[in-house]
């Protein structure tokens, strides 16, 4: 049987806190890495896989 962890309050608190930190970190990292990944993907679409 699968325990419904999502209903447990500590799990939800941890998730929300983790999501906020993850989003902030992700936005900071994502600006640099995301732009590179996006460029690579766009180049990949135009010229095929590099």
Per-residue pLDDT of the chain (50 residues; tens, 9 = 90+): 566 766 667 767 777 887 788 777 777 766 767 677 888 888 888 786 55
pLDDT at residue number 3:
66
For residue 6, what pLDDT is reported? 61
Strand locations in 1-50 (E): none
C-alpha to C-alpha distance for 14 and 21, rounded to whole angstroms: 10
Domain segments of the chain: what residues? 5-47
- Residue 19 buriedness (CB in 10 A; 0-12 / 13-18 / 19+): exposed
Residue appearing with tokens 């732009």: 35
Say what the pLDDT of residue 4 is.
72
């Amino acid at each position: 049987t699968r325990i419904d962890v999502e209903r447990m309050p500590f799990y939800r608190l941890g998730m929300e806190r983790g999501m906020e930190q993850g989003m902030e970190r992700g936005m900071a990292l994502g600006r640099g890495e995301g732009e590179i990944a996006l460029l690579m993907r766009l180049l990949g679409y135009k010229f095929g896989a590099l």
